[in-house]
Amino acid sequence: MFDLLTYVALGMTLTFAFVNGFHDGGNVIATIIGSRSMHPLRALALATLAEFIGPVILGTAVSQTIFENILNRQVLAYLSQTNLSLMIVCGLAGAIIWNLITWRLRLPSSSSHALIGGLIGASLATIGGSGVAWDKVVSTVALPLLGAPIVAFVGGLLAFSTIAALFAKAHRSLSRLFVNLQTPCMIFLAASQGSNDAQKSMGVVALVLFASGGASQENAGLPHWVVLGCAAALAAGLCVGGWRIVKTVGYGICRMEPVHSFASQLAASTVILVASLAGGPVSTTQVVSASVMGVGASRRLSGVRWQTARSIAYAWFLTVPFSAGIGACAGWIVIGLFGQP
């Protein structure tokens, strides 16, 4: 049986998944709405279903990365169950609070960065630098997070350039083809995003179970309720929010027509799916935004509203230090008041 603190940590994890859904999920439908190719409510319904199904069918490789490669579990083993659970709660608090701040400001920042920053900050406040698996963080977490937007930008640029070259002499009525192609592509993107993002919450649940003695050192397999619970929380978050981010990504970066939306979706979904299957935690926000910038830049550099792009970039760079700071402050306060010596 779990104690009360374990249930609190599990509740906070599902809350993070929910906030992640309405914070990041809007990226999935932003371009198809921005190009006026689908009614917003229909796009939302299809994306919500795909986001729930994606984590169920695409495996849990990313959750294993979150479980094993952020915090040093050999050091965590010396913490009491209470302190470890409190540390996880404080790390989640750092991620959730930062997500709410950036959502309020309509800035599509990265929930992935916020989660990693929050956990690192809480760990630093609780047990110092030895609690973070720095080498694994760099090789298996930081590199995919930093590299994916670059690949998505190039992918968006190449995708649209290729389409433009192939259909340069086509009649504008061909745009209807790309309106129709966007539907399966958006569903594919939503399933990929749902898989990658829900698995981050699954990895945190695995840490919670590890703290409570309910999971082995090897995290042999997650219970079905973890997969379904995190997938449902993420999909529910998308249902009730995301419109602020839709306005920024769908309308604020560059002029969006069906062909541009399709090229962006194709590039972003490919990057996210490959990362999910390989176990690389990537930021959907960064990948989608970067692919839109790539599509805009492929037409002409002035086609991108760089002022909006700079605001997004500032949010990206500030996410880890600010969420880490919030997680650290929460750790000092909460563990100081309720922790065990």
Spell out the domain ranges in the chain.
4-328
Query: So what's the pLDDT on residue 171?
Result: 67
| pLDDT the model gives residue 335 | 84
16/92 Cα distance (integer angstroms): 7
Distances in whole angstroms, Cα of residue 219 to Cα of each of 57, 159, 230, 246, 322: 19, 39, 17, 36, 30
Is the pLDDT reported for residue 218 higher than 50? no
Measured CA to CA, the distance from residue 293 to residue 268 in angstroms comes to 11
* Strand, coil or helix: 304: strand
Distance CA 261, CA 243 (A): 17
Query: What would the pLDDT profile of 294-333 be if each residue is shown by its tens digit?
Result: 888 887 766 677 776 777 777 778 888 999 999 999 999 9
- Name the residue among 143, 153, 150 with its Cα closest to residue 281: 143
Cα gap 79→288, rounded to integer Å: 39
Confidence of residue 18 (pLDDT cuts 50, 70, 90): very high
Question: Which region holds residue 304: left if phi is over 0, alpha if psi is between -120 and 50, else beta?
Answer: beta
Looking at residues 188-193, what average pLDDT do you find? 88
> What residues pair up with 304 in beta bridges, in sequence order?
254
Query: Region 142-154: what's the mean pLDDT?
Result: 87
Q: Which of 9-18, 119-128, 272-281 has the lowest mean pLDDT?
A: 272-281
Copy the structure tokens of residue 36.
């006026």
Give the whole-angstrom CA distance, residue 120 versus residue 64: 17
More confident residue, 210 or 253: 210
- The residue among 28, 43, 21, 9 whose CA lies nearest residue 231 is 21
Instruction: Give the pLDDT band (50/70/90) at residue 217.
Output: very low
Model confidence at 58: pLDDT above 80: no
Between 96 and 37, the more confident residue is 96
pLDDT of residue 254: 73
**What pLDDT, on a 0 to 100 scale, did the predictor assign at position 87?**
93
Cα torsion through 4, 79, 77, 6, rounded to 10: 10
Give the distance between the most distant pair of CA atoms in the chain. 73
Element (H, E) at 37: none
How confident is residue 65, by pLDDT bands cut at 50, 70 and 90?
A: confident
Among 51-60, 209-218, 219-228, name the one with the lowest average pLDDT. 209-218
Residue 96 has pLDDT above 90, yes or no: yes
